[in-house]
């Protein structure tokens, strides 16, 4: 009988064995230059790097906290309620979770349109980001702090100004409620004010406030009315 076949022999790798080098046709890409260690990555002896491995990268660009853009409306016939969704989109380009808290519009005529060129007062929308509203950890509760949790979108005759800022009183920092676009139009707010005695040959400041109510003021020359109205219109 022939002798039995010898059992297969398994050779353990030598301690100084190294893996084969990666194929030169698919090079390792290191974004930002330098070695892997420059990016805080240490590659051990038994790690094989494939050709499509990317080590390190540039950080994603951060949204600007203050910018301007050309006005995309007629400043002499500005419709504040119609522009509110555009203002919200601008605010969410900075803080994606921003929501409306209030807006103030000057130079509003009885038909609801505003002429932004009539006064030097700035008409603006204010939005708040809940994710940027927290007090710094470990700060005593009774210590005042300024927190840039708001995005203010100011509509001017020739441009829109968008900036991150702190706005409300120290004792209510970053607590203005988020609100939906109001139901009433500025023309309907004017009608409510007219029923209270507002003269139709005047202009007014109209604000939708953080408490969810409307504020009407046409007392530019010491005459007129200053009234608040709920966001309920006939």
110 pLDDT higher than 90: yes
Within a domain: 165:
yes
Cα–Cα dist 9/6, whole Å:
9
**Residue 192: inside a domain:** yes
* Same domain assignment for residues 166 and 50: no
Pick from 90, 91, 168: nearest CA to 133: 168
Domain count across the chain: 2
Are residue 124 and residue 218 in the same domain, yes or no?
A: yes
CB 205 within 8 Å of CB 106: yes
Q: Residues 143, 70: one domain? A: yes
DSSP of the chain, one letter per residue? -PPPPPPP-PPPPPTT--PPPPPTTS--EETTSS-TGGGT----TTPPPPTT-EE--PPPPPPPSEEEEE--S-TTSB-HHHHHHHHHHHHHTTSTT-EEEEEEEEEE-TTS-B-TTS-SPPEEEEEE-GGG-PPPTT--TTS------EEEEEE-SSEEEEEEE--S-GGGTT-PPP-PPPSS-HHHHHHHHHHTT--TTS-EEEEE-TTS-EEEE--TTS-S-EEEE-S---
Minimum mean pLDDT range among 31-35, 161-165, 180-184? 31-35
Within a domain: 161: yes
**Could you tell me the pTM of the whole model?**
0.73
So what's the pLDDT on residue 223?
82
At 31, the pLDDT band (50, 70, 90 cuts) reads very low
In a domain, 9, yes or no: no
Both tokens of 36, joined, read 């892997």
Confidence of residue 28 (pLDDT cuts 50, 70, 90): very low
Answer yes or no: do 111 and 36 share one domain: no
Q: Is the pLDDT of residue 104 over 50?
A: yes
Is there a domain that residue 12 lies in? no
133 and 41 in one domain? no
Do 84 and 48 sit in the same domain of this protein? no
Is residue 131 located within the same domain as residue 27? no
**Domain carrying residue 49:** 23-61
User: What pLDDT, in 10s, does the model give residues 167-202?
Assistant: 877 666 899 999 999 999 999 999 999 999 999 999
CA–CA separation, 94 vs 66, rounded Å? 9
Is 92 part of any domain?
Answer: yes
Q: Domain ends where: 13, 45, 61?
A: 61
The verdict on residue 5 lying in a domain is: no
Per-residue pLDDT, 18: 53
Residue 162: the pLDDT is 98
Domain shared by 51 and 137, yes or no: no
Query: Is 2 domain-assigned?
Result: no
Which H, E and C letters describe 129-183, residue by residue? CHHHCCCCCCCCCCCCCCCCCEEEEEECCCEEEEEEECCCCHHHCCCCCCCCCCC
């Amino acid at each position: 009988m022939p002798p039995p076949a010898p059992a297969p022999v398994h050779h353990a790798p030598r301690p100084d064995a190294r893996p084969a080098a990666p194929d030169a046709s698919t090079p390792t890409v290191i974004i930002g230059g330098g070695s892997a260690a420059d990016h805080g990555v240490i590659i051990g002896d038994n790690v094989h790097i494939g050709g499509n491995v990317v080590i390190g990268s540039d950080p994603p660009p951060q949204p600007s906290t203050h910018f301007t853009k050309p006005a995309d409306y007629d400043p002499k016939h500005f419709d504040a309620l119609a522009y509110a969704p555009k203002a919200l989109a601008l605010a969410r380009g900075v803080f994606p979770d921003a929501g409306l808290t209030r807006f103030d519009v000057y130079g509003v005529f009885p038909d609801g349109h505003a002429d932004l060129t009539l006064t030097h007062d700035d008409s603006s929308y204010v939005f708040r980001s809940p994710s940027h509203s927290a007090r710094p950890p470990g700060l005593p509760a009774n210590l005042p702090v300024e927190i840039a949790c708001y995005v203010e979108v100011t509509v001017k005759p020739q441009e829109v100004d968008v900036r991150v800022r702190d706005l409300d009183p120290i004792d209510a920092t970053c607590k203005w409620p988020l609100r939906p676009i109001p139901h009433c139009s500025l023309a309907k707010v004017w009608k409510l004010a007219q029923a209270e005695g507002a003269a139709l040959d005047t202009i007014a400041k109209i604000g939708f406030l953080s408490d969810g109510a409307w504020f009407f003021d046409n007392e530019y020359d010491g005459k007129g009315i200053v009234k608040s109205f709920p966001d309920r219109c006939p």
